[in-house]
Every structure is written in structure tokens, then in C-alpha cells.
Structure 1
Amino acid sequence: MQSTHDRRQSGIQNRMAPRGANARNRYYLEKEQFLIEILHHVHEPLMNDQWRLLGEQLVTDKDQYVIFNDRMTAFLEAFSMGKLLDQKAYYNPLYEDHYQQTLGLYNFFYNTRDWYTLWQNICWARLHMNPGLFVQALTQVLLKRDDYQPLIMPKIYELWPESFLDMQTVREARNFNFANWIREGNMTDFKEVHPLEMEPLEVDGDLRNTPEWLKAMAGVTIFRMKQRPSGNKLGYLVEDVDWLAYWYYLNTGINLVEDKSDQFQEWWYYQLGQILARYKLERYGQKMSYERLQFIKDERNSQLISWQNLRFSPENQKTTNDINDYLERLESMVNEAITSQSLLLKNGTFIDLSINNNWLIGLKELFPYEWTQFQMDTANQPQLLLDLRTALRSENFYYYADRLLQLYRCYNEHFQPSTERSFIPTNLKINDVKVSPLITFDQPVDIDLSNLLHTRHFHFGGQFLWPFTLQQRQFRLQQKDFSYTLQVSSNITKSTIFKIYLTIPEGKSINRQPFYLLDSFLTMIYQGDNRITRNSLDFKGFVGDHISLTELNQFVKLAQNEEFDFPLNISTANCGFPRRLILPRGGLGNPLKMRLFIVATSYDFKAQQGNELNCDITKGISRWDELPLGYPFERYLEEDHQAEEVFGSHVLWKDVEIWHEDHLA
């Protein structure tokens, strides 16, 4: 029988390219190493003389671009007139001026004919552009250009740890001096640890705790900081770096898509609804109000700072007034549209919403699907709510999202055509579901803070080196893998779609319950009795953990020395939701009682495969059928619809319990 280590090794070897692949991949490795170096301490001056020389001039020869459009011309004019954002200014892509400048630089990256032109433009932007604007434009290119998508970009919380960690942690990390630690060795907040002590043990690609990994990390001294306790009752969720980064990447993926279709709008509001549902389930589990969220007048003072040492503040009164005014105007417009069955568009056109698909025109007009609908006029000071990296920390984010989604659902309820009955399968019955134990626990994990250390520690004699890394030990919510088995009977053989939602126990109005989608899949149901088993590791749309920035650098170096065949499939999808957060924290003494809602629908042979998990939605959104995302809860359910949509033989309600194991006691 193979040991866990042997199985890991076998899995890695199966995924590795054949020997000699490094020669073929050397261009990839050069690009990856360049990317790591150019983004390393991106908020500090670039120290690599080669990249500084290459970045002296932006490529302006139009022949070097597939297209040279008006946005690029406007960007050049703004640069020549000194109107681009200052390098030390606070950057926020949701502000109009910042957005337009980002779009211009993005086009100078995206439209390049070859890597060498892009290479020079990246070096130029690293030297001359605001770091936040530069990172945003580069991120967009790596997400949207097929030829560069295999490149691995560090996670946003590894590039900007300041925006995800408390100020005391950031300040202590910035003041850490490797030489002083070696000389004194008594800095109690910093502890040297062996590579085998790094957590979590399991990451996508199974690269940790292998001989290659130990070899790669042999030359790196690992320091660990203690975690600062959070005073927020829901801090383990709303301060989780992957929870926060998910919203950042989701909006980044959709932000610069200019040819935006109706399905992008639906997808954005569906994702917002899922975040809100997951948040409400956590509040329910913590015995906090969840049905109607309340506005928090005095949010907790933020302990976050940006790389410019600007402190993130709670929303100010102007922000509150602007957002409330916006939502009140939207509510009035939605009510008027429903009452009059018509809408006056911004261009002065008057449309009848009851004719053809005019209601979709009204939907697009009333409900823009970017957070830019709440953008402010200026961006002098960061606010939690208005920065994509920190928005989910703000309790009022969920309050505003709840109000917005109520109006969105209300509009859909009145104008969206009724779902065809043909989607409800006949001759099929979901008899039961057996669920393995649902158990959550607090898992130790190390977050890479190396970008907080001073850049002088990483350059010696003109060479870029990585002598040590700083990690912070945190404890985060995790769940044990679980599975469920459906028992389904059918009189015919037919392809069928199943969706499994998690919600609260029975007792509340169905329209006031949060429904969070755990799993959806397509399968063949055969005549007779069927047993279908699904494991949580196979649930669609979720991702696991990734190697850290330090490990990525070390693996690339090892591969460049032809001591390691670098795998090209180890990057985690940025727009995939963290798999470990799909269950709310369970109960310690008593279990948290929840319910599963399982619904079957007929397959219409119109499935579509998109790439939205990688934040590339230019080719469309993945879906099993033409039903609305979130069906049947995408709109309010009237009593006469509930019987056929949420009750019947094709659905099943099942009580479940979630326990929490305290391994830290």
C-alpha cells in the first residue's frame, strides 16, 4: 500500500512533463521569472538595471500592435501632458479617471504583436506608472490573452499585504531586519521554522513536502509571525484573504470587457447574490440577525493601510448619502416601470417594457452590473466599501447589496417570462439523500508577507535573490471533505441536471431565506433506481490552495537550472470560490441545523462551457441550460408557483447538521 508521500510523488510524476521539457519551456520560465521580478515590491523603485534600461521608452510604433486605437492615442496624449495618475497617489479602478487610464495602458499591453513589445511596455509602465494602475492593467492582460494565461501571477494579497492585514502586523513586518535577527535572535514575534512546518500541507498540484519542494526551499530561511486576534465576531469570514480576493478578481475579470452582453449582467448579480447568501448563512449560524440587514452608522475603525500608508476609513457621510440617494432613485424608477410598464431611457427614448424583449433593455438600463455604479467623484482617501480589495470587510456592503438585489428580483418577477414547465422533469422522483458528516474546523495556514520586507534584502551585487521569506500564521475556517448520495427513481432514461442548495431550517418565508448553491451537475438518469454519489472535491466552481509567492520563485529557479520539470497546471483559478468556505461554521456543543434543497431539471442540450473561473468571460458564461442562474430563486416566488417549482417529486428538502471541531483547545 502506498504511503501518503508515495501517492503524492506518483501524482506529481504523472502531471510532470517528460524529461527535456525544460528546454522547450525555457521561454515560459523566462517569462515567469521576469513576471516575479517585475512585480516584486512593485510599490518600490525597480532595482534591476536590465529592466530599467529596457523600460526607458514606451513602444509607440503602430506596426508593433495588432490595432492602435483611440484609447492608446488618448493615453499617449495624457502622458505627454503630465496628466496621468501620480505614482504615489491612491489608485482605485472604480473611479472614472483611473479607469480610463487603466484602459489605455491595458490596450498598450493587450494589443502587442509579440512578447518582446509587451516586455518593453511592462518595464516602461513599472518605471513610470502608478503601481496600482500598473498591476491592474497587467492583471487584466494575463487574464484575457490566451497566450499569456498559463503565466502565474501572485495573488493580490501577496502583492498588497497592506490592504489585507492589520497595521501593527504591517509595521512590524516592514521593520523586520534579517541581519538584526541573525545577530540578536530574540525577536519574540518572529520565529524561524522548518519548511516542513508550513501550512497548509495540501495545495493544488501537490507540490508541498516533496523532495523537489525541499530542494527548492533549501536556500530560503522561513520566518513566521504570530496572528493578531480579530475583534470582529465574523472576522474569520469577512477578514479571510481569499474571501476578499474573490470579489476583487470577480470584478477585475468583468471590468474591462467592453462588449458586454446580458448574460454578463445576470452572472454579476448572481455572484453578488451568492456572496450575500453565504454571508447570511454565517450570520444565522452565529445567531445574528440575517433576514433584513441593518445599516451600521458607525462601522469599526479600519486597521488597514494601503502601500502609500494611507489608512482605509469606514464610509464617510458623503458616501452614505450618495449611495442611499442612488438606491432611492433606483427604487422609484423600478416602481414606476412596474406600474406604467414603460421606461424613459437615458438617451431620451421611451420604451414599452411589455413588448418583445424590451424588458431586457430596461434591465440593462436600471441595473448596471459593475460596482462602478456606486463610484464617487474623487479618490483622495481609501474607504473600505469603495475599494475592491476591502469591500467585503464592510458590513454595509451586504446591507447595500441586499437592497440592490431586492430591487433586481422585484423587476425580474414582474417582467421576466415565466419558466417553461418543460424544464420540470416528469417520470422522475428524488427519494432521498444520504449525507456524510458535515464538519468544520479552524485550520492553521501561512500567508506570504515577503512583499512587505524591504527590497534591499533581495538584491545582492546586482543579482535578484530570495534569501528568506516572512509568513504569518493565521487560523481560517475549513471543512472536512464530505459527500452525498442521491437516490433517484425514474420511468425513463434521460439526461438530468441537479442543483443542491444550502439554506436555513424550515420556518421562514421561502422568499426570505438565503439559498447558497453547493453543487450543480449533469448526469444520465436510467430507468429504475439510481444512486448518484458526489464528493465535495468535485463541486463545480470551487478551488483549493495555491503555492506561495516565495515557493513559486524557488520552483522557477529550480526549473531554470534543469533540476525540476515545472508543471504548467498548478495555478488556481482566481475567480473560483474557496472550496473551504462553502459551509458556515458549525456548532461546538450543539450542531448548527441547516437544510439542503435539491432540485432536478430536464437537460435541453444547450450547455455552454465558458472560462469564467479564470476571470476570462469574453467567451461567455458556463451554464447547463437556458434557465436563469440561481433558478428557482432568482426572483420572488408567488404562492401559485411554489407548488410546482419548489415542491413535487423532482425536489427534496433534507435537514442536515454541521459540527465544528476545536483542534486549538
Structure 2
Amino acid sequence: MKLTLVLLALVGCVAAFSVPTSTKVKIADQEFLQKQKFFFEIVYRVEDPLLFEEWIKLGQKLVVDKSLYTTFDFYMEKFWESYKLGALLPKGEFFGALVKTHHKQAWGLFNFFYYAKDWETFSQNVAWARIHVNEGMFIYALTLAVIHKPEFEGFILPQIYEIFPQYFFNSKFVYEAEKFDYDVFSKYIMYEKEYKDILYKDISEFSDNFYFYTKDWKTWQWWKMMGLGEHWHFEDKYFLRENIAQYNKEPKYADIIKDVQKFYMPVDYTRDIDFFNAESKLSYFTEDLGWNSYWYYLNLDYAFFLDGKQFGLDKDRRGEYWIYNVQQILARYYQERLANGFGEIPEFFWYKQIEYGYDPQLIYYNGVGYSYRKNYFEYQTYGKFDILYQIQNFFDRIYDVLDTGYFKTADGVVIDLHKPESIKFIGNYLQGNVDTYDKYFFNYWYVLSHMYFADVDYYDFEVFPNVFLNFETMLRDPFFYSFYKKFTDVFYKFKFFLGPYTKKDLYYEGITIKDVSVSKLTTYFDFVDFDVTNLLNDKMTFVDGKFVWDKTLLARQARLNHKPFNFEFTIDSAKEQKGVVRVFLGPKFDEFGRVIPLKYNGQNFVQIDSFVYPFVAGQNTIKRSSKEFTYTAEDRATYTELYKYVQLASEGKYKFPLDISEPHNAFPDRLVLPRGWEQGLPMQFYFFVSPYTEDYEQFSNFDYAYQAGVGSGTRFVDSKPFGYPFDRSVDEYSFFVPNGYFKDVKIYYVDTFAKYFEKKYENYGVFDYSVEY
């Protein structure tokens, strides 16, 4: 079995990072394991007091000796002064990464971690911060440090939804989880059985619609019909996930979980409580844990305040890559909208009502609920017009300089904005990062925009929780897609001035795609168990000073998935040569069944794969599985499993591998395809082959066995613009070149749960674990 031990992993839709199976995997030594154990324990139940005595003793004071840091900068000075004056964000208060006052303190804490010269200084600072610093700020700064500090290549933290389940699951679930007590839960179930649960009665006396008579029908009661258990319940089986088979094949896997009691609770999305409006139908997608954590890690890997040269982010074309990801996220969201009968992403206008409100139904770990936006909301009711005018001025300025065609910086440098290479300036500007072309104009506009929509003023310190203030929650809100559509409007305007590619630009002499066959595309909903042990209401047990992890709390949730599918390419090549094969998926029709002209449809294509292939002269047959896609990952090993593996390896009973089979920020494999229809959702693939002309080899300057090379400049398949050839406005006739190929397909949706509700399942009341997910 492969385990992830990497935080510097591949990011995004064009990162070609597939590790050869023949690669010799490194094995963690005892020093590594002890450090990894520290990371796992320091974030355990992070909102509770630290109870590991070893780390309590370690964290008595912050190291302020400047000689122990490579740099001791302004933000570190300010952080230390704020602590001494009692002006740090208090523990238990809401932390927003995009609240300006919070951001500056988090920056200082991150620098204390990042610039530490040795492990002793770093670990002491981390232990101190765990005890004294706001929990949200601590996790944000620590995650950034583990991602970017070169010495920590190979180390991981639990996924963000395992550290803070409150950011991802509705308040109803969180309340139930936090009050769960194994000693009394069986009595509670008996009460439910006797007084509330009609399913325990003889249902033969009722009609086929017997559940109609249940006044308070709960999610877990629906699940009872499927045999998935009652309320909280214990089940001596295994963690549900799509790749559980590969875990079961690992001999040591049974050893690590045999003594762990597993408790499950069913959880739905916000639909479980209320359909706030029609947009709630998409909650399974917008509130998906993988979807939201992808955006979170993207914005930590390429954090807007990290200097591109110092951290190597400029080598990865950080601005261009960020805005490309925004465009791809909007395109993927639009595909899901079409699958559910919705049309274009609604436009955002500054002084018009927002038709669709949003209630995230989240609760922060301090007990304060997240603010919500009612239907037909008007943001100008917030006031704060000075911030609003700054945001509007940002868009006005960028449109003006694009129309002018050039920008003159404060030091007199003239930048031609009608050249393809100027995309880096546009991307940096849109992200609001520190590499923007004019530092004078860099005024935190990106931070201010999120503050405005969250009703936060310039110098607000203690603020109400709002999804727009943290990367891991903002994709839940349908308004995100409307507002960020304004970002891509700027992006498209820049591309408009470049003009479309000509047929000569796209033609690859000597390469002809004769055919591409595609296996059946099928989507469905399956169940997955997310580790929410950090919510567990139970005392910690230590034996001989060692923490005993003997219980795990799991949230069992239905989520979108797809069956594996395959491509078979038939490509003729006039000679032996290397080429880059790109695969795109896009819609065919709009919500009214009208064909979308390619001129307008190009921006709706999502790149799902890219790889280099050595063509031989003559006919080439290439077989490619969706399991081989270079930027996706299946379900990850849970927090509980990883900790148990580290314990076992520390005792010399297991060889802990360092590889990147489960990168923290790869795109979820299961979300590659939109939901589809039972009769088939019409879509289309576009396959394109271009010359491989790079003067470097991928992975040439980093160990690809367990690194992803963020900041290396050699992570991507080539140096073509991201999204090429859909990165510019489309001339339809240019795309019909021999090395390009369109393929019409249909995506079929299969309702895997229907058999339980329609009484067509012979083992009614028993869940079918034999279903192949």
C-alpha cells in the first residue's frame, strides 16, 4: 500500500506528476518518524488544551534569540510585541485568513516557524504557539510552514477537514458529534427505537408510502432503511472509501486498526436541514470536502503574500497558474450546473440584489454560528463604501490599462499588456500577490474584497464567522462563482487582445489523430467515511507515557463519484518524436438544449489529463485509464490510520514509505466528471497533440519519489500557456487540425440507492457492501 508523506505535492489541472511504479520508495527512519509523530500530536483536538506532557514542557516560551533565525523581520517583531502587550487574536476567537488584522499576525507567526534555523527552535515555537496562539491562526501558519520549509519535504499534517471538521460539516452534525458519549449512546438509541422510529415496527400494516407517517424523518432513518445502522453506532467492518481494497491487501493494515473502535454517524449536506433555494440542489458539489480542500491547498501552496523569488513561486508562473485554476473551477462548476438543469453562472452587479442567498449552517468551534445571506440580498446595505470603491477601482484600473495596452510602473518601466508573456502580470494582479507589477498599487485589494462581502471593516479584530474569510469554506457559497467570474472576465479580455490561434499555430506536422475510443462514462453516489476524531468527546488515555489511540469518530457521507473509464488513442506519426497529449472535457449543449458554439464554449472546457508520449513512426495505439490521470488522487489514508502507522513504524514493526500516492492537494479523482443524467448527459472530449520542445526533463531537479517540486520550475508538462489551446478565444475552423480530435460522449448517472427505497433489494434493511465503488 502507498501512503502519502508529502505536502509539497502536485497542484492543479496541468501538473504532470506521475511516479513510475519502478521507483524505489524511501523508508522513513526513526528521526523522521519522531518528527512526524510530533506533527500529528500537536494538532490533535487543536481547539482543546494540549495534553501531551512532552510538548507542554517544550512549549514554555517562544524563541526570540535572533541568532537562531536566518531572518528576523518586521512581522516577527510586530508579532512578538503584540504577544507581550496581550494584543494577539485571543484563543477561541474566529480566525479569518483574509481578515487584514488577522493576516498580519499569522504572517509573523509563520515567519517564526519558517526562519527557524533548526528543528529544536522550530518545534519549541510550534509547541508554544499550540498553547498560546489562536487555534485557527496556529494551523494556518503551521500548514504554510510545513508546505514551504525545504527541510520538511516529506512530512504531512492531517487533511484540513480532519483538523477542523467544523469548516466542512453542518452544525447539526457537529453538535451531535460533540455530545456523543459511548457510555450512554446505546440508551439513547433505545429511546429512539421505542418512541420515534417507525422502522422498528411491523411496516406491513402501512402502505407503500409508510414513511409518510413519520413526522420527524431524519437522515439516519433513511440510512436505517439501507442497513447502514442507527444513530451513532459501532461497526466492526472497515472504513468506507473507494480504494479500500488496496488497504485490505496490506498485511499490516489489520494490525493497526484491530484495536480501534470505530463509530459512525450519517451526515448529509445543508440539504439535510433545509433547501434554502434552488441552488441548494448543488450542495453535494459546492460543499464537497475534496472540492473545498483543493482550493484551500492551492492558496497555501501559492499564498498571495509569499515573495515569488524567495519561495520559487515565480518559476511556477504563480499568477498565471492561479487565475487558470479560477477559470477551471468556474468551468467545472458550470458543467455541474448543466447536469442539474441550471444555466450560466449568474452575473454579479455591484448595485443589484443577489437573487440566491446562502446559509452555510456551519458553526465555529467556539460555538458561534456562521453568518448567512438571505435571498435577494443587497451588499450596499453594509455601508463601508470606501472599501467598495477601492474594489471597484481595482477593476476599473485593470480594464483601463488593458484598453490602453501598456502600463507604466512608478519607477518608469513600461509593460506591454498585449503580449502573451504579460499574462504573469495580469495573474499576479488578479490574485493581489506581492509579485504584482507595481508595489505602490498593491493595497490588499484581494483581502479587502473578501472583507467587504463578509461585512468586516479595515481594522476589525474580533469578527463573526463568514465563509468568505477562509479559503477552505468560500467555495460553499454560490456567490463565490459569481464574484470570481469578474476575475475571469479580466482574464478573457486580456486574451481577447492576443487574438485566436491560427491553424498554422495549432498544426503539428506529421501527427494525425485517427480515432479515440472512450469507454462508458458512469457516475453515481457512494459513501465515504471522513475522520472527525478531533470532535471526539472522550478523555485521552496514556499508557507508559504513550498516547493510546483506541477510538475513531467517522462521518459517513454520500458523495459524487464515477466508474473508472478508459481511452484508446489511434495516432499516426510520420516519424519518431515526442508529443504532449492533452485531454479536455466540455459541454455540448446549454440548459435549453441548444448547441453552444465553440467560440463561446472554449472557456467551459476542463483539462482532465496531459502526458508526454514517445511516438514511433507509423501507427501508435495508446491506452490510458482515468486511474492514470496525472493530477488526481483517490481517497486518502485517514488521520487515525496514519498515526497508527507511525506508531507501528516507531516500534520497528512496519516500514513507513515516503511517496506521493496521496498528495494533499491533488484534485479529487471522483469529481472529474459531472453528475450526468440517467438517459445520458451529452458532453464532448477534445484531444490535442502538440510538439514536446522543452529543454528540461520533468522532475530533473527534485526527487520525484516524494516531492512535487513547488518552486522548481519543472513541474509542468511543458511551458505552453495553461489550458492551451483553449487559453485564447477560439476560431472554430482553426481547431479542426489533424492533431486535434473532438469526440461526442454521454455521461450516465446510476442511482445506486434506488433499490433500497423501491423495495427491489432482496436483503432489505442490510447494506450491500459488495457493490464495487
Q: What is the TM-score with the length of structure 1 in the denominator?
A: 0.88
Deviates more, 1:163-172 or 1:491-500: 491-500
Within the alignment, does 1:178 sit opposite 2:178 as a pair?
A: no
* Shift of residue 105, structure 1, vs aligned partner: 1.4
| In structure 2, C-alpha distance between the alignment counterparts of 1:389 and 1:279, rounded to whole Å | 16
Q: What's the CA shift for 1:352?
A: 6.1
The answer for the alignment partner of 2:307 in structure 1 is: 258
Percent identity of paired positions between Structure 1 and Structure 2 = 27
Contact 1:342 1:350 in 2 (8 A): no
Conservation of the 8 A alpha-carbon contact between 1:607 and 1:624: no
Separation of aligned partners in 2, 1:352 and 1:408: 17
CA distance in 2, matches of 1:497, 1:405: 26
CA distance in 1, matches of 2:284, 2:299: 23
- Equivalent pairs, count: 642
Matched, 1:500 2:500: no
The match for 1:43 among 44, 47, 59 is 47
CA distance 1:321–1:80, change in 2 (3 Å): closer
Of 594, 613, 618, which aligns to 1:528?
618
Determine the structure 2 residue equivalent to 1:28.
Answer: 32
- 2:746 aligned with 1:657: yes
Match of 1:155 in 2: 159
Question: Does the aligned pair in 1 maintain the 2:418–2:497 contact within 8 Å?
Answer: no
Matched with 1:8 is none
| C-alpha displacement of 1:592 | 1.0
Cα distance change on mapping 1:533 and 1:179 into 2, 3 Å: same
> Partners of 1:567 and 1:460 in 2: how far apart?
27
> Is it true that 1:307 corresponds to 2:311 in the alignment?
no
Q: After alignment, is 365-374 or 137-146 more displaced?
A: 365-374
Q: Which of 237, 240, 244 is matched with 2:285 structurally?
A: 237
Paired residue for 2:294? 246
Q: Deviations over 1:499-542 (max 9, x none)?
A: 11101116213243210111111112222222111111111111
State the shift of 1:68 in Å: 2.9
Between the aligned partners of 1:156 and 1:354, the Cα distance in structure 2 is: 38
Are 2:283 and 1:190 equivalent residues in the alignment?
no
CA distance 1:423–1:481, change in 2 (3 Å): same
CA 452–320 in structure 1, closer or farther in 2 if over 3 Å, else same: farther
SS in 1 for 2:302: helix
User: Quick one: distance in 2 between partners of 1:181 and 1:342?
Assistant: 67
Is structure 2 residue 170 aligned with structure 1 residue 128? no
Compared CA separation, residues 608 and 283, structure 1 to 2 (3 A): farther
Query: Quick check: 2:612–2:717 contact (8 Å CA) kept in 1?
Result: yes
Task: State the distance in 2 between where 1:286 and 1:600 align.
Answer: 32
SS at match of 2:665: coil
Q: Give 1:10's aligned residue.
A: none
Q: 1:317-396 maps to which residues of 2 (within 5 A)?
A: 317=379, 328-343=392-407, 345=409, 347=410, 351=414, 353=416, 359=422, 363=426, 366-369=429-432, 372=447, 374-376=449-451, 377=458, 378=460, 380-396=463-479
Partner deviation per Cα, 1:91-149 (whole Å, 9 max, x = no partner): 11222222222221112112222222211111111011111111111111111123323
Structure 1 counterpart of 2:256, from 213, 216, 225: 216
- The one of 715, 719, 728 equivalent to 1:635 is 728
Aligned counterpart for 2:329 among listed residues 268, 271, 275: 275
- The unaligned stretches of length 5 or more in structure 1 are 5-12
Match of 2:761 in 1: none
User: How far apart are 1:249 and its partner, in Å?
Assistant: 0.7
Counterpart Cα distance in 1 of 2:486 and 2:657: 45
Number of the residue aligned with 1:445: 528
The answer to whether the 8 A contact 1:608-1:623 is kept is: no
| Pair 493,522 (structure 1): closer, same or farther in 2 beyond 3 Å | same
Q: 1:265 to 1:467 in 2, by over 3 A?
A: same
Determine helix, strand or coil for the equivalent of 2:726.
coil
Task: Name 2:516's counterpart in structure 1.
Answer: 433
Q: Does the 8 Å contact 2:345/2:481 carry over to 1?
A: no
Are 1:488 and 2:530 counterparts?
no
Mapped contact 1:143–1:615 kept (Cα < 8 A) = no
Report the AA paired with residue 572 of structure 1: E
Identify the range of structure 1 (291-300 vs 166-175) with the bigger mean alpha-carbon deviation.
291-300
1:597 corresponds to: 686
Q: 2:713 aligns with which of 611, 616, 620?
A: 620
- Separation in structure 2 between the aligned mates of residue 358 and residue 558 of structure 1, nearest angstrom: 51
1:60/1:329 Cα in 2 relative to 1: closer, same or farther (>3 Å)? closer
Q: Report the alpha carbon displacement of residue 451 of structure 1 after superposing the two structures with TM.
A: 0.7
Higher-RCO chain (CA-CA 8 Å, sequence separation at least 6):
2
Other structure's SS at 1:393 match = coil
Contact 2:523 2:748 (C-alpha < 8 Å) held by counterparts: yes
Offset of residue 289 of structure 1: 0.7
Change beyond 3 A, Cα 1:537–1:160: same
List gaps (5 residues or longer) in structure 2: 2-20, 193-229, 434-445, 452-457, 590-594, 755-773
How much does 1:343 deviate? 3.5
| Cα 1:120–1:583 shift into 2, 3 Å | same
Provide the rounded CA distance (Å) in 1 between the counterparts of 2:427 and 2:531: 41
Match of 2:243 among 195, 202, 212: 202
- Shift, 1:43, TM fit: 0.9
Measured in 2, the distance between the counterparts of 1:141 and 1:419 equals: 45
Q: 1:444 to 1:339 in 2, by over 3 A?
A: closer
Note the C-alpha offset of 1:596. Answer: 0.5
Give SS of 1:433's match: strand
Whether the aligned pair in 1 keeps the contact of 2:634 and 2:669 (CA below 8 Å) is yes
Cα deviation per residue 1:459-505 (whole Å; 9 max; x = unaligned)? 68975322311112111111111110111123232211111110111
The answer to whether structure 1 residue 286 and structure 2 residue 340 are counterparts is yes
Q: CA deviation at 1:208?
A: 4.0
1:250–1:615 contact (8 Å) kept in structure 2: no
2:99 match:
95
Are the aligned partners of 2:694 and 2:719 in contact in 1 as well (CA < 8 Å)? no
SS in 2 for 1:261: helix
* Structure 1 position 566 matched with structure 2 position 608: no
329-338 or 238-247, which moves further after superposition? 329-338
Contact 2:106 2:137 in 1 (8 A): yes
Measure, in 2, the Cα distance between the counterparts of 1:326 and 1:636: 30
- State the SS of the aligned residue for 1:278: helix
Relative distance call for 1:359 and 1:655 in structure 2 (3 A) is: closer
CA-CA distance at 1:635 after TM superposition:
2.8
1:240 shift after superposition: 0.8
CA contact (8 A) 2:30 2:650 kept: yes
Alignment-mate amino acid for residue 554 of structure 1? K
State the Cα deviation string for residues 628-647 of structure 1 (Å, max 9, x = none). 1111222323x4xx433x22
Match of 2:116 among 112, 125, 129: 112
Distance 1:183 1:532, change over 3 A: same
Shift of 1:159: 0.7
Match of 1:7 in 2: none
My pick for the range that moved more, 146-155 or 653-662, is 146-155
Secondary structure of the equivalent of 1:282?
Answer: helix
The answer (yes or no) to whether the contact 1:544–1:578 under 8 Å persists in 2 is yes
1: CA distance, partners of 2:486 / 2:393: 12
Residue range with higher mean Cα deviation, 373-382 or 466-475: 373-382
Amino acid at match of 1:620: G
**What letter corresponds to residue 332 of structure 2 in structure 1?**
R
Q: 1-side partners of 2:475 and 2:158: how far apart?
A: 21
